[in-house]
Structure 1
Amino acid sequence: MPELSNRLDGFTESIIRKMTRIAKQHDAINLSQGFPDFDPPRELLDELRIAADEGPHQYEITWGSELFRKKLAEKQSKWMGIPVDPESNIVVTCGSTEAMMAAMMTVCNPGDKVIVFSPFYENYTADAILTGVTPIYVPLAPPEFLFDPEELRRAFEQGVKAIILCNPSNPTGKVFTRSELETIASLAVEFDAFVITDEVYEHIVFEPYTHTYMASLPGMFERTLSCSSLSKTYSITGWRLGYIIGPAGVIDVCRKVHDFLTVGAAAPLQRAAVKGLELGDDYYEGLTRSYEQKRTLFLEGLDRIGLKYYKPQGAYYVLVDISEFGEPDDYKFCEWLASEIGVAAVPGSSFFREDVRQYIRFHFAKKEETLIEALKRLEKLKLYRKS
């Protein structure tokens, strides 16, 4: 039997997806993998029924249907504050997961270096391994998860090709300030590097924080690949509709990568999702209010239980400190939490380059009744506190 590829020697399966399987095994409330338990907007579901009958059911243009790209360009031009041309600045992908991979493969050669902030979404390390690049990790220091500009400069000085930026951040919920983004941008320009952004939580930002698109900063559109998806904004994580926005020359190469990775995103789902892209400002305002209410409900519940956490500024995740329970292995703690308490979380160590094992990550993208039941179960943790 020939040897398998050695590029996967350092690979593990997704801890997040594994925790979903463990949640199902124990009938636990799944606050690990970040997907809602409520329906998408009615407009999308109604259009999906029509698309099921009328199609299209065959291949669309590989980089996205003409109508989908047109509506996406209109929406993102407004929100990003920059003109986005549907014919030259967009490639539609199978979720933001493919968008990030295609972006990495577009700008990086094997052996290149990329900067990754730690903690980070677990896929970024996998992307680096699969594209043959070396990640250089720069820590974000709690409680505000700030980076040291001098440490970031030292990372750039190592000759990096790109920096990956998740904003708002998973798993911390950090929203990078305009000043922080300007620091990153100035270093990217000085050292002639690309910025690959993951902005899937762009519409889930809590007051007083605001989201600034890296590509909207002066001089940054030409070196930024803005990756995002419709998954979180419209509660359609299973539809797998993502995209990359960037300068025409870069997008032209992205389209080639995407074409041979997946050919194209699902045609009938692109048709149905257009209805989401046409929604007005009131939808996005309502989305933010809804998640603010869920955040308040969940964090107040954690306060009553006495759990320590970092308050998220955006997205729908919260890092919780479990050090008081005396379990040094966060993975074992999460297994126990699912089996004995009935709530599933993600071990925090899967997000950190550093040897950090005192955190777990919950998400609160659930119906209020689901969160209330989860908090009721978590009340039992009071019996196991060691300190």
Structure 2
Amino acid sequence: MTSTASAPDSGRPLLNRRLAEFGTTIFAEMSALAVRTGSINLGQGFPDTDGPEEIREAAVRALRDGRGNQYPPGPGVPELRTAITAHQQRRYGLSYDPDTEVLVTAGATEAIAAALLALLEPGDEVVALEPYYDSYAACIAMAGGTRVPVTLRPSEGPRDGVAGRRFRLDLDELRAAVTDRTRLLLINTPHNPTGTVLTRAELTAIAELAVERDLLVVTDEVYEHLVFDDAEHLPLAGFPGMRERTLTIGSAGKTFSFTGWKVGWVTGTPGLVSAVRSAKQFLTYVNSGPFQYAVAEALSLPDSYFDAFRADMLVKRDVLAAGLRDAGFDVFTTAGTYFITTDIRPLGESDGFAFCRALPERAGVVAIPNAVFYDHREAGAPFVRFAFCKKVEVLEEAAKRLKGAF
């Protein structure tokens, strides 16, 4: 029997209007372009090697032992929640209750979504640092909130004793962005895509503003273990008056190079975490059962692992940065994350979208236009992001191809 059913012809778009501005993500588009052209993919931020073998084997053991193969507990397995709190205490002196102040999520992306869906009402304003990870804008929209971007802008010369050209936060602009409708600040440090790490002075000012205006803060700290040179990662929850109003988001994917496992978490007061859990239970409910046990072991690795991981990424940063400069790009200093932002204007270019869409055919390399992370697209138009979480030989080949193309 042939079906004659068709979509209703009401004239109303099928996609919820809150999501109308969001199409296929730039990561999907550029990764597909990399496959189609056989290019080196320095666009999407995933490593091309797996993390520690002992952690992968821990996941295998959990699978074989039947741990996590059925639904894990809603907040996450106790072993992982305990490991998260031990990690926060050991690294930062922050104390959390593993039973009431930790929630395991399907990566940091779900943590962001659940937090914003839980904490926002339609019309609430969210102040976010622009450029921002693309899911921020979509999640704010899904929650019915209004995003208010505060743009990080390029600066020349040293800042707080750290040399190099970087992006900086204008604290006066941040303060001016807060209104009576502001519900929360959405902070990301180390910052993707610019590679900046907020300083103690900047974080102090953010904390003072949040306390003064009685704001909630969601802070995305997934690159906490990837800070370089003289930069230091300082959790915002550790500043005066912030623990009771801050939800901190962490992730195993970036630190242990198992991005496909999708294990993230939030820490905060029982009230905040309970609110996020109320939203999360209707998203994935639970997730990544066997991998949670493996990540619990990963978080207990000695400091030597984290030091070696950071040192390895620093080498890769410097290899790619040198190659990009040699090819003619203006390269911003990356103080954190595994991304480098470049300015393409020295190459005679000014449109990052057009540049990145042509780059695979031109040079056999894929990058991401930073403008996709901006509301003010013109502010990000000349900037392009490259990921350096790849093998050194891959980065060297990419640099060679870029130099040959320009």
Does TM, normalized by the shorter one, top 0.5?
yes
Tell me the distance in 1 between the aligned counterparts of 2:18 and 2:85: 37
C-alpha contact (below 8 Å) 2:344/2:350 kept by paired residues:
no
Q: 1:45 aligns with which of 48, 52, 56?
A: 56
SS at match of 1:92: strand
C-alpha contact (below 8 Å) 2:117/2:142 kept by paired residues:
no
What is the match of residue 265 of structure 2?
A: 243
Shift of the alpha carbon at 1:158? 4.5
Shift of the alpha carbon at 1:327? 4.1
**2:38 maps to 1:13:** no
Tell me the distance in 1 between the aligned counterparts of 2:167 and 2:80: 36
Tell me the distance in 2 between the aligned counterparts of 1:230 and 1:333: 33
Query: What is the TM-score with the length of structure 2 in the denominator?
Result: 0.91
Question: How many residues are paired up?
Answer: 382
CA-to-aligned-CA distance 1:330-366 (integer Å, 9 cap, x gap) = 2221121112311000012112222131111101000
What is the match of residue 277 of structure 1?
A: 299
Tell me the distance in 1 between the aligned counterparts of 2:179 and 2:249: 25
Q: 2:41 aligns with which of 21, 27, 30?
A: 30
What is the match of residue 385 of structure 1?
A: none
Shift of the alpha carbon at 1:370? 0.9
Q: 2:117 aligns with which of 96, 102, 105?
A: 105
Partner amino acid, structure 2, of 1:46? E
What is the match of residue 163 of structure 2?
A: none
SS at match of 2:57: helix
Tell me the distance in 2 between the aligned counterparts of 1:108 and 1:231: 27
Identity of aligned residues (%): 38
**2:310 maps to 1:298:** no
What is the match of residue 4 of structure 2?
A: none
In the TM superposition, what are the counterparts of 1:1-387 in structure 2 within 5 Å? 1=8, 3=12, 4=14, 5-56=16-67, 57-143=69-155, 144-354=166-376, 355=378, 356-382=380-406
Tell me the distance in 2 between the aligned counterparts of 1:150 and 1:337: 38
Tell me the distance in 2 between the aligned counterparts of 1:272 and 1:367: 24
- Bigger mean CA deviation after superposition, 357-366 or 297-306: 297-306
CA-to-aligned-CA distance 1:231-289 (integer Å, 9 cap, x gap) = 10000110000001000111111111111111112111112222211101111111111
User: Residues 276 and 357 (structure 1 numbering): CA distance in 2 closer, same or farther, change over 3 Å?
Assistant: same
Tell me the distance in 2 between the aligned counterparts of 1:7 and 1:23: 30
SS at match of 1:18: helix
Partner amino acid, structure 1, of 2:53? R
Shift of the alpha carbon at 1:227? 0.8
Tell me the distance in 2 between the aligned counterparts of 1:65 and 1:348: 37
C-alpha contact (below 8 Å) 1:75/1:277 kept by paired residues:
yes
Tell me the distance in 2 between the aligned counterparts of 1:131 and 1:13: 19
CA-to-aligned-CA distance 1:18-62 (integer Å, 9 cap, x gap) = 211111111111100000001111111111222232222100101
C-alpha contact (below 8 Å) 1:108/1:161 kept by paired residues:
yes
Tell me the distance in 1 between the aligned counterparts of 2:35 and 2:108: 25
C-alpha contact (below 8 Å) 1:63/1:258 kept by paired residues:
no
Query: What is the TM-score with the length of structure 1 in the denominator?
Result: 0.96
Partner amino acid, structure 1, of 2:142? L
C-alpha contact (below 8 Å) 1:200/1:227 kept by paired residues:
yes
Q: Which runs of 5+ in 2 are unaligned?
A: 1-7, 156-165
Shift of the alpha carbon at 1:380? 1.8
Tell me the distance in 1 between the aligned counterparts of 2:149 and 2:84: 33
Shift of the alpha carbon at 1:328? 4.2
- Bigger mean CA deviation after superposition, 292-301 or 149-158: 149-158
